[in-house]
Amino acid sequence: MSETVYNRIALLRAERKVTRRQLADALGVHYQTVGYLERGEYSPSLYLALRIADYFEVPVEVVFSTAPFPRIGERSA
């Protein structure tokens, strides 16, 4: 069983034109932490995951998943 946590942070940031530094400042973390999260090199605490979802005003499952998100344009079966 993999413990990988997939996320859409980069996609959400791009849609909203938010830089890593802006997101990091809003969350009170170092901007490199946002990069580590986006690349899947670091899994957030539950508290940080909820704060990220709150920042983007979406449910946490829109941002994070234990299964890979479908690529844009792919249809789910």
Write out pLDDT tens, residues 22-76: 999 999 999 999 999 999 999 999 999 999 999 999 999 999 998 888 876 766 5
| pTM of the predicted model over 0.75 | yes
- Per the structure block, which two tokens stand in for 52? 């990220």
Query: Residue 18: inside a domain, yes or no?
Result: yes
Query: Residue 47: inside a domain, yes or no?
Result: yes
Instruction: Show the domain range for 52.
Output: 6-64
State the total domains in the chain: 1
Place of tokens 């979406």: 58
- Per the structure block, which two tokens stand in for 49? 């995951």
Q: Give dist(CA 17, CA 26) in Å, integer.
A: 14
